[in-house]
Structure 1
Amino acid sequence: MREEVLASVLANAKVEPQLAIWGWQIATYLFLGGLAAGLMVLSAWAVLARREAQAPFAAGQAPLIGFVALMVGMTTLFLDLEQKINVWRFYTGLHVTSVMSWGSWVLLLVIPALGLLTLAGLPSGFPALSAWLDRLPAIGPRLIAPISAICVMQRRKLAVLNFALGIALGIYTGVLLSAFNARPFWHSALLGPLFLTSGLSTGAAMMILGTGADGERHLFGRIDLGLILVELALIGLFLADMLNGNALQRDAAAHVLGGGATQVFWLGFIGAGLALPLALELVLWRRSMVSVAAVAAVLVLFGGFLLRDVVVKTGQETSWSHFDNQFNASLLKDLRKDGENPNGRF
């Protein structure tokens, strides 16, 4: 009888013993993209609802904050790319079955739309910056000033566009993960609504931090309170969805229900990022306190980042397949003695 041994060696530290291809860059991108989406939607709402007088920061200044957040987020996404020179390939076509393809095109639409809404808000939100741009040599009077004037006149139409694209961007940040069916912790249709709601909540928190008007701070404090309640409900549904799934989905949920991510998820995200700011905003329902509102807003932003960080890391630790790790360094050494590259053979 002839006996043969079949051996397979995984020599990729990013795959074995668990997937580890996405780090802080992706979590940061998802957080800043969600924040930009929230600012887009809430800024557009302030314009469409004719709340410019009540919410001057939201209508005039928030679009620029959102634009900067989006650009920083896009930078972290670019840093994560292994082959950065090939980024243009995303725009050689639209692959209808690819979530990343849809997302790349959504971002391509979001950037100019948010940029134009920013120009529309500069005269009221940042008058000094608006005047400086209008006076730039060559391009200021001939290009920037006329475009800015058109944006101001078409502000409501731009608000409609930004409202729609902001919702699309906010949902996409969650759908991007849920489309990876190979990861049980990401395999839920609730990630899209959850990330959208979280993005809106962080957007409201930024309004609270940025405004100097008590009325606007109080307005977005109430909005954020409602968004936190919705977010808590969605998290409950997400965990229930996992726990009512198959054994591997239940194992995935166990990462935040007694596993390695439990403390960060419950104490950091749920406790400090949602429950505590919810309690503080309830206190502020009838009485305005700037310092308390600022603390609540910072905690919401902190919780928004922790949500993305926990979901990204935990999703990579879960899989539909389980293989016992029987890696043997001496076996690999013996295989190398035959003069062939085992990484190329196996």
Structure 2
Amino acid sequence: MNQMWGSIEQYNTVVWHWPIAVYLFLAGLSAGAAMTSLMVKWIEGNETPPWDGLIKAGALLAPVTICLGLFLLIFDLTRPLHFWKLLIHYNFSSVMTLGVLGLFAYTPLSLLYAATKFKPWLFESGPFAGLLKPFQGIVDALDGRSAWLERSLFFFAIVIGIYTGFLLSAMYSYPLLNTPLLPILFLASGLSSGVAASILFGLLFFKSEVNQKNAKYLLELDLRVVPMELLLLFALFVGMYFQGGDKMVVAMQALTTGVWAWIFWVGVIGIGIATPLLIAVTALKNHAYRVGYILLNSAVVLVGVLALRLYILYAGQTFVG
């Protein structure tokens, strides 16, 4: 056996597999997209080009990705047809229950927010305009009270972003997962993926104009968010190392042993953090505000955040001291 890849016996502790990592990725992306859409709307104060594409992209991505993530989660359950029991049985000491309640609030809020941004298409020109017409009054009323809707959505987006980390940190027998930094790390990486996905879809599908002003704005967003992930990862592993005992052993194993160490250094650090920072700094320094740079920057951020979710989930269950 090639020791670089480790022994297959080390994987016996894995009980949560890739669908959970993808769900966590989609839930974090949804929360980050909602926050991105709202922050751009609030900071720029309008919904005209070149900002309307980002606002609409984030508004659409938020409900679509959370619904896809929940669909994946339901069908990953051992008995998916019994998922409805989660809706009527509550244990308020359970992280899962609190997450379900947060999703109860966040998901409809994200749908309503998206509806306010796509009213003409939904109620006039879309394929289901006739069926949805009776609901236009509700959406119009909410649009008239957009401050309440937007603030509620932003709050619950933060809740969902943090919850994705709490879901794993509640696994007490796994030292890499059972850390208070994980919810903050997942919130930061979720926001990073939300920014990247909103940029990518805004530029590709909503034809938002790209000029020096908003290109610089988008690149600077990454320069604010991505280093936060690096700092939190540094704090996570340094903290575990200096706690000694099993946590020190797990931290060293997770960074140096097997395929997951490669995923961390190449996927998370190399692709997800170093590459977008290099692209952003180079573009800003040289005033090279090209669409290609921004799209590449967004794509590598998304790959890196997905790699981070996979790494944390698998390495956290693999290395237990």
TM-score computed with the length of structure 2 as normaliser: 0.88
Structure with larger Rg: 1
- Percent identity at matched positions? 28
- For 2:51, the aligned partner's letter is A
Q: Does 1:109 align with 2:105?
A: yes
Shift in Å, 1:59: 2.4
Distance 1:157-1:276 versus aligned 2 partners, 3 A rule: same
Is the CA contact 1:218–1:288 (under 8 Å) kept in the aligned structure 2? yes
Is the CA contact 1:113–1:162 (under 8 Å) kept in the aligned structure 2? yes
Is the CA contact 1:43–1:58 (under 8 Å) kept in the aligned structure 2? yes
Is the CA contact 2:196–2:298 (under 8 Å) kept in the aligned structure 1? yes
- Where does residue 5 of structure 2 map in the other structure? none
Distance 1:269-1:226 versus aligned 2 partners, 3 A rule: same
1:206-246 per-position Cα deviation (integer Å, ceiling 9, x unaligned): 12212332244432321121101111101100111111123
1:90-136 per-position Cα deviation (integer Å, ceiling 9, x unaligned): 2224422211110011111111000010011114xxx4455235963
Is the CA contact 1:190–1:234 (under 8 Å) kept in the aligned structure 2? yes
For 2:223 and 2:141, how far apart are their aligned partners in 1? 36
1:273-296 per-position Cα deviation (integer Å, ceiling 9, x unaligned): 110111101122233111011111
Shift in Å, 1:60: 2.6
Distance 1:98-1:129 versus aligned 2 partners, 3 A rule: same
- Where does residue 35 of structure 1 map in the other structure? 29
- Where does residue 4 of structure 2 map in the other structure? none
User: More deviation in 88-97 or 67-76?
Assistant: 88-97
Aligned ranges 1:1-12 → 2 under 5 Å: none
Q: Does 1:141 align with 2:137?
A: no
Aligned ranges 1:206-285 → 2 under 5 Å: 206-209=197-200, 210-211=202-203, 212-214=208-210, 215-260=213-258, 261-285=260-284
- Over the residues paired in the alignment, what is the CA RMSD in angstroms? 2.0
- Where does residue 287 of structure 1 map in the other structure? 288
- Where does residue 132 of structure 1 map in the other structure? 125
- For 1:274, the aligned partner's letter is I
> Which of 1 and 2 has higher RCO (CA within 8 Å, sep 6+)?
2
For 1:48 and 1:156, how far apart are their aligned partners in 2? 10
Is the CA contact 1:37–1:166 (under 8 Å) kept in the aligned structure 2? yes
Shift in Å, 1:46: 2.5
Aligned ranges 1:305-316 → 2 under 5 Å: 305-316=306-317
Distance 1:91-1:316 versus aligned 2 partners, 3 A rule: same
Which of 176, 179, 183 is the equivalent residue of 1:192? 183
Aligned ranges 1:21-170 → 2 under 5 Å: 21-49=15-43, 50-53=45-48, 54-123=50-119, 127-133=120-126, 136-137=129-130, 139-143=131-135, 145-170=136-161
The structure richer in helix per residue is 2
SS in 1 for 2:243: coil
- For 1:34, the aligned partner's letter is G
- For 2:169, the aligned partner's letter is S
Task: Give unmatched runs, 5+ long, in structure 1.
Answer: 1-14, 321-346
SS in 1 for 2:254: coil
